[in-house]
Structure 1
């Protein structure tokens, strides 16, 4: 198992980790198989979405704030219930195809770590399963 370290700078943000994932694949000489990325944090998630136009990330972040506002009818004492809900909506993992040492993504797709309760130092676990 490998680990990707991520330092976030704001309460909510989507950090493009695609290059880190590609570098990890190359450094480990992973050829073909499946790569599981897993977030062990209850207020962070992983998603794949468009990375060519930064307005997409902005739109996702802004509208998630509207769908699940920071202050609402929550009872959780830590004050981050919205972050837990957003994490559940996105999910803690992504399974990605690796072929010839390349992560298989669509033309505009990128891999994002989603921070919902930052800023924090985070980690992702990566497990490669060769085919």
Structure 2
């Protein structure tokens, strides 16, 4: 099964939790055991798994990335968004989550986040469900 999630962001750097839409896609797939692949086809965005119980965790990640990779004029990339490209390399553009008994095997406090680094924009997240992998 293949699916797409549309994510709309408003800020230059923004994390959008996409756990529930991904869970819905897994449920609709009827796959009992397999893998859920999540892929972001953008060079200035990413996807990651981390704690979703306390939103301060995402804020801390965002603030730390902003400090480590600031938006400055010293980069060679002429479009002016080199910081966004660097941040997307750090988060990565894909994750794979095992499916067991029809459910994602996320940890108790884990959530799936789309990471925007060059917003606001309308973005895509691709979901591929494979059975029996």
Aligning the two structures, in what range does the TM-score lie when normalised by the shorter sequence?
over 0.9
For 1:41 and 1:15, the matched residues in 2 are separated by 15
Structure 2 residue runs without a partner (length 5+): none
Residue 58 (1) aligns with residue 59 (2): yes
Q: CA RMSD in A?
A: 0.9
- How far residue 113 of structure 1 moved from its aligned partner, in angstroms, is 0.4
- How far residue 100 of structure 1 moved from its aligned partner, in angstroms, is 1.5
Aligned to 2:99: 98
Aligned to 1:26: 27
Q: Which secondary structure does the structure 1 equivalent of 2:31 belong to?
A: coil
CA deviations over 1:10-65 (Å, ceiling 9, x no partner)? 11011100001001111222221011101100001010000100100000001100
Give the total of aligned pairs. 131
| TM norm structure 2 | 0.95
Q: Is the 8 A contact 2:43 2:85 kept in 1?
A: yes
The list of structure 1 runs, each at least 4 consecutive aligned residues, that deviate by more than 3 angstroms after superposition, is none
Aligned to 2:47: 46
Structure 1 residue runs without a partner (length 5+): none
- How far residue 72 of structure 1 moved from its aligned partner, in angstroms, is 4.5
| TM norm structure 1 | 0.96
Residue 3 (1) aligns with residue 4 (2): yes
